[in-house]
Chains A and B, each alone.
Chain A
Amino acid sequence: MRKGDGMGDSAKPEPSATMPAGKAEAATEAAGEEKATAKRGPRGRVFINEERCKGCGLCIAFCPSQVLERSERFNSKGYHPPDAKRPEKCTGCDICGYFCPDFAIYGVRITEKAKNKEANDKEEKKPEGPS
């Protein structure tokens, strides 16, 4: 029986300047992964309602991709809401959204259709260029 870690995949090792020389292959692989992500864009997006946050830190701690970190800002209740420090890592798994006792955060998967729509919206919003 597996131990009770229902989180699915563990996070992949991150490239680090202090990585020992013997792990060079892993570092290359990770760097390649990052490039791929940068090319296709994040698979998910996280939405944060800062005013609802009570700073419990569950979303930050249990995000499988370590997307979030505690911000330095205060909301009006005096709590530090999370920031998406590495939004490109977000997979839209919504684990944050499941944990949050205050319904202050959730993640969504981004589909191709949505990406195209967003791109189109941006195009439409472009101000008319000088004639």
Chain B
Amino acid sequence: MSTSTPVAEAPSPSHPVESLLRMDRMPHIWCPGCGIGTSMNCFARALLESKLDLNKVAIVSGIGCTGRVAGYLRLDSFHTTHGRPIPFATGLKLGNPNLKVVVYSGDGDLIAIGGNHFIHAARRNMDLMVVCINNFNYAMTGGQVASTTPLTALATTAPYGNFEPPFNLPYLAESCGATYIARWTTYHVRQLARAYQEALTRKGFVFIEVVSPCPELYGRRNRLGSVLEMTKYFKEKSVVRNGAPTHELGIEHQGPIAVGKFVDRPRPTFLEAMNEQMRAKLGDKFVPLETPS
């Protein structure tokens, strides 16, 4: 990604990713310094750098702060129900396999209420890129405990401290069959953009966890300081551990955060497996999906 920095021949007044944003909907709703904005910034750059046909890229999100991402990107964008972007994206992808479908949602949406769909789409190796912005709580509704909240952390529905062990998302994703797994924080803007770009080239169930600050809710309640301090914690406590075993990647409250690329193991996607099976069994009688006219 060496030429990602724009070069000024005739400097223009617009931000490099504006062409991908619905500028008529700016400013967005996210709090000052919210990591979602940064992550979307990096994602937009990866999209532009990828040279994908942006008419064929569709983004699907659920409900929550991260769910609003779909509304701000100028792509075919779908803001669906809580927990259900993955099955919607499944139908979208199977309905038109030529689409590049990205699911962009939060930890509460994808892993708790959406958990069942997450594990099955990974199991099936559905050709979906799933970006999970993990801010360790349900932010949109005011900062409730989530299935990713670290032990002992405070949340509105865990006012005496969380005693439920959280998920280790890369471990969960790997155990369900995800073929590409990476984690970065919103501090690692360059690596994140590179990871997005690489992920966009992969087929199958791709999972990127982005550890993100929620300064107004999770941060304030746990006295983690401003977004600057939270991001500095990411900087200081992150450890790059490419290829590390995913069962070691759990995050303790204010503990080390292992980042990097952990899994990159392609295997047949749902459609590849289905088409192969149908051909084998039906021979000439198998009629694959026609692209919708």
**Which A residues fall within an 8 A CB radius of B?**
1-6, 45, 47, 49, 52, 54-58, 61-62, 79, 92-95, 97-111, 113-114, 117
Contacts and interface: CB of A to CB of B under 8 A. Distances in A.
A126 B183 CA distance: 54
B15 A97 contact: yes
Given A102-B37, A103-B41, A107-B5, A45 B11 contact: yes
Secondary structure of the B contact surface, majority rule: mixed
A62 B37 CA distance: 16
A101 to B, nearest CB: 2
A97 B27 contact: no
Contact of A4 (B7, B26, B193, B235): B235
Interface of B: 4-11, 13, 15-18, 21, 26-28, 30-38, 40-42, 45, 185, 187-191, 193, 226-228, 231-232, 234-235, 238-242, 257, 259
Contacts of A106: 6, 15-16
Nearest to B39: A101
Contact of B8 (A2, A54, A92, A98): A92
A109 B8 CA distance: 6
Contacts, number: 132
B188 A56 contact: no
Closest 8 pairs (CB-CB, A-B): A101-B37, A56-B33, A4-B238, A54-B32, A98-B189, A108-B8, A103-B15, A56-B32
A109 to B, nearest CB: 5
Given A6-B188, A98-B41, A108-B6, A52 B26 contact: yes
A17 B43 CA distance: 43
A93 B198 CA distance: 21
Contacts of B38: 58, 98-101
